[in-house]
Amino acid sequence: MIRNISPEGSDPSDSADSASRTPDVSDPTSVPVKPAVSVLMVRDGERGLEVFVQHRVTTMDFAAGVVVFPGGRVDAFDEEVAKTIEVPNADVHRQAWSKSSIAEVADGWRVLLATAVREVEEETGSVLDPAALKPWANWVTPVGRPKRFDTYFYTVSAAPGSAPHHQTTEADNSEWLPVNEILIDESEGRLKLMRPTLFLMNELSTFDSATQIAEAQKTIDPVRPEVPGNHG
């Protein structure tokens, strides 16, 4: 079953990310849906559960000025590297994405892991163990937007000694922030979050620790909003 969420106007994320709005296209069917990966890096902090986020620069042609998780599109390099990806829990990954489009690609789950590792290293300097990545969610940009992504989200607990930092030109700052503080700042207009990001932040806020997230049982139904929104 493909999960749908409320069209904007009745969804809690209506106030998020008006800055990322771009004109709809005249022929929505002509816009390709590109696979992408995003990683929710979490850790326990003094002020509660924290997540590593990036503040995108305001000059970007997509999601300008919004708070995002590290990640990006799948590329040809990832497809090559995927051949070398081995994890002890391969069936967990196959099952997690079984309802998603990537299931139609031979060993597509390996491609996603390769993309996650590459993007996080490029954008944060942190090298992830593919086996530590936990499938978490799948969101597809609705028809009608000028750019569409089939985005696969993972969670991962920050490894001891791991020190992700800011090293991407697509953002002007990267930092660890408490999840609850991000949600407060979003509700009061100090931060802008895209629709999936806001939804996932609210989901993270229901956990007390990174360990709880790592142990959570997840059934992933692709989320495909029927109505284009202000923020994709």
Measure the CA–CA gap between 14 and 96, rounded to whole angstroms: 29
Summarize the confidence of residues 209-218 as an average pLDDT.
96
Give the per-residue pLDDT at 142: 86
pLDDT higher than 80, residue 169: no
CATH number at residue 208: 3.90.79.10
- Could you tell me where the DSSP H helices lie in 16-139? 76-81, 90-96, 108-124
Q: Does residue 140 belong to any structural domain of this protein?
A: yes
Give the per-residue pLDDT at 4: 34
pLDDT tens column, 17-62:
333 445 556 676 778 899 999 999 999 999 999 999 998 764 444 5
Q: Does residue 222 belong to any structural domain of this protein?
A: no
Measure the CA–CA gap between 81 and 75, rounded to whole angstroms: 10
Q: Does residue 225 belong to any structural domain of this protein?
A: no
Measure the CA–CA gap between 147 and 141, rounded to whole angstroms: 8
pLDDT tens column, 66-89:
899 999 999 999 999 999 999 999
pLDDT tens column, 142-165:
887 788 899 999 999 997 667 887
Q: Does residue 211 belong to any structural domain of this protein?
A: yes
Q: Does residue 162 belong to any structural domain of this protein?
A: yes
Q: How many domains are contained in the chain?
A: 1
- Domain holding 25, by residue range, is 12-215
- Could you tell me where the DSSP H helices lie in 19-153? 76-81, 90-96, 108-124
**DSSP code for 93:** H
Q: Does residue 226 belong to any structural domain of this protein?
A: no
